[in-house]
Amino acid sequence: MRVAPYLRDLRGDVWRDLVDEVCWSPDASLDQLAFSLLLVRLCGCLTCYTHSYRALRGCTLCATQTVRRFRGADSELLGLFQLSRTEVVAFEDSGQPLTDFFDHPIPGGKQ
């Protein structure tokens, strides 16, 4: 969770508590996987490539900008995190290909 601590103070208390919870979770825990999935979707990491502007700026700056610019409330981010958490559990239980879970863009996320 290299980038997560930098995102802690970008929004309100709900977001800060979520980031704290995720950062203190064990490595590769359900919460960390779900938070990573949330950020991958919000930031559009799957469409980022080596020579793109986003890649040249780096993941920390990209994630910081994305979280700051998210137009929804912190409660929406928490809901999206819970949805990601549910999807990680479903993925672990079903053995479905991970790519199936990236076909559903998040409102407000980069396309």
Domain boundaries, the chain: 4-94
Q: How confident is residue 92, by pLDDT bands cut at 50, 70 and 90?
A: confident
**81 contacts 35 by C-beta, under 8 angstroms:** yes
How large a percentage of the chain has pLDDT more than 90?
74
CA-to-CA distance for 69 and 59, rounded, in angstroms?
Answer: 15
DSSP label at 49?
Answer: -
Q: What size, in residues, is the chain?
A: 111
- Model-level pTM? 0.84
* pLDDT tens readout for residues 43-84: 999 899 988 988 999 999 999 999 999 999 999 999 999 999
